Amino acid sequence: MSTATAHRAVREPSDILKRAHAVGNYYGFTPLSQLALANRGKGARGPYPDGLNLEALDPSAREVVSLLKQVRDAGITPSNTQPLFLWHTNIAAGRPAPKQILIQFHVLGVEHAIADAVLIRTVRSLLGDLSKSEPHLKLNSMGDRETRSRFARELTQFFRKHGPILPTDCVERARQGEVFEAAELLACMKEEADGMPSPTDHLSEASRKHFEAVLEYLETTDTPYELVPSLLSRGASWTETCFTVETPDGTAWGSRYNDLTRPFFKSGVHSVGAVIRIASDGREQVTPVKERGAPRFVFVHIGDEAKRESMKMADDLRRARIPLTQAMGVASLSEQMRLADLADPQYLLIMGRKEALERNVILRERSTHTEIFLPLDGLIDRLKLVA
């Protein structure tokens, strides 16, 4: 996996921090700092787990591991039964911005492809908002560990068979056992890469179904993407879907990384994350983000149809400044309602399969339990009147 190149930032770090808060809120991600504050006194700082070789990790994996350590040190224990949607940045209010701004979004505890889709939509939304340009989303899948092993064998055979006609540097790296790095290098040379195996041709049945589900979410939510067979996650930490999001002013890398969670928690946690990199001059003092009160609305959705509609609507609702939050990637209705109670909004927006197919949403006033149906067409204007 090649490390994304950071570019000139067109926005001030304080504005980047503000927009990261806004986008994260609309897609259901909570700042790690807020989670740690709520969990104060329950954790304790400790060293990295024994046996974890940081030097063997690629740069993005090291950033993920650093975040997992902070989650563990805060006493937060994600699980596959109670998912955690969080984001974190190295921008700190009251301090100069770092030379390279890092923003991470993570979903811990969700195996289903909706986690990948929500993460991709969130990262794409933030980078597009910052650069005021259409982000370029590239996708591929390396599959599970079984698939990676099978694909590595296919690549090894490919380089042995075609070694005499391939670039020497690529063949030498493959001979040294760095077949993914050799394939990534060869993929940059369009003509020479003809005939190179693709990981998607060797996916296990489970990995194939997962990748197809991710693509279906992107297509049904009108998210443009490009399938790029040469996009490879070189490091052994990554599995399943891998993606990059590129704009003139910032880039992101994302993938699944279940195995990285094992040293930090009692068992592996289904996890997917993305690391955004944006250049900074490192001089501006970062101003704090103004604290928001309870949101006016919490959006609750039940079923895939409702989830897809909520994804399509999220950016329009945010741009219209509707004071709303939601747990978009949480499937359980009871868990969404628990989170809604914590947020304590005045209104709930409720959408199930029936409402999604009929293109409307239920607006419930929590104090009186009064409900009215609002059509999706013109919903923003109606919510502005209520807000």
Under 8 Å between Cβ of 317 and 125: no
Torsion from C-alpha of 373, 375, 376, 380, nearest 10 degrees: -80
Residue 2, helix vs strand vs coil = coil
Q: Are residues 187 and 49 in the same domain?
A: no
Q: Are residues 308 and 378 in the same domain?
A: yes
Q: Are residues 133 and 150 in the same domain?
A: no
Pick from 115-129, 228-242, 266-280: least confident = 228-242
Q: Are residues 371 and 342 in the same domain?
A: yes
Q: Are residues 19 and 127 in the same domain?
A: yes
What are the pLDDT digits (tens) for 169-181? 999 999 998 888 8
Q: For residue 345, what are the domain limits? A: 297-386
Q: Are residues 253 and 122 in the same domain?
A: yes
DSSP for 246-314 reads EETTEEEEEEE-HHHHTTTSSS---EEEEEEEEE--S-SBPPPPPPP-S-SEEEEE-SHHHHHHHHHHH
Spatial distance between the Cα atoms of 72 and 265, rounded to a whole number of angstroms: 7
Mean pLDDT across the stretch 342-365?
Answer: 94
Spatial distance between the Cα atoms of 272 and 242, rounded to a whole number of angstroms: 10
What are the pLDDT digits (tens) for 37-93? 888 878 788 899 988 889 888 899 999 999 999 999 999 988 777 789 999 999 988
Q: What is the CATH number of the domain that holds 103?
A: 3.30.930.10
What are the pLDDT digits (tens) for 241-267? 999 999 988 999 999 999 899 999 888
Check whether 161 has a pLDDT greater than 60.
yes
Under 8 Å between Cβ of 302 and 333: yes
Spatial distance between the Cα atoms of 139 and 320, rounded to a whole number of angstroms: 30
Q: Are residues 125 and 19 in the same domain?
A: yes
209, part of any domain:
no
Under 8 Å between Cβ of 140 and 228: yes
333, part of any domain:
yes
Binned at pLDDT 50, 70 and 90, residue 192 comes out as low
Under 8 Å between Cβ of 152 and 239: no
348, part of any domain:
yes
> Number of folded domains in the chain?
3
φ, ψ (nearest 5 deg) of residue 177: 90, 0
Q: Are residues 337 and 361 in the same domain?
A: yes
Binned at pLDDT 50, 70 and 90, residue 154 comes out as very high
Check whether 353 has a pLDDT greater than 70.
yes
Mean pLDDT across the stretch 137-152?
Answer: 91
Check whether 10 has a pLDDT greater than 60.
no
Q: How far from each other are the two terminal CA atoms of the chain, in whole angstroms? A: 45
- The reported pLDDT for the residue numbered 383 is 93
Binned at pLDDT 50, 70 and 90, residue 2 comes out as very low
Check whether 238 has a pLDDT greater than 80.
yes
Mean pLDDT across the stretch 164-173?
Answer: 90
Check whether 193 has a pLDDT greater than 80.
no
Check whether 8 has a pLDDT greater than 60.
no
What are the pLDDT digits (tens) for 75-88? 998 877 778 999 99
Under 8 Å between Cβ of 282 and 96: yes
Binned at pLDDT 50, 70 and 90, residue 191 comes out as low
Give burial (CB, 10 Å; 0-12/13-18/19+) of 236.
middle
Spatial distance between the Cα atoms of 326 and 77, rounded to a whole number of angstroms: 21
DSSP for 193-248 reads TTT---GGGG--HHHHHHHHHHHHHHHHTT---EE-TT----STT-EEEEEEEEET
Count the helices and strands in the chain (H runs, E runs): 13, 13
Q: Are residues 101 and 152 in the same domain?
A: no
Helix (H) or strand (E) holding 348: strand 347-351
Sign of torsion, CA 314 317 321 322? negative
* Residue 268 in tokens: 């592996």
Under 8 Å between Cβ of 202 and 143: yes
Check whether 306 has a pLDDT greater than 90.
yes
33, part of any domain:
yes
Mean pLDDT across the stretch 7-32?
Answer: 83
Spatial distance between the Cα atoms of 46 and 43, rounded to a whole number of angstroms: 9
CA 150 remoteness from chain centre: 27
213, part of any domain:
no
CB proximity list for 289: less than 8 A, separation 6 or greater: 17, 18, 21, 93
234, part of any domain:
no
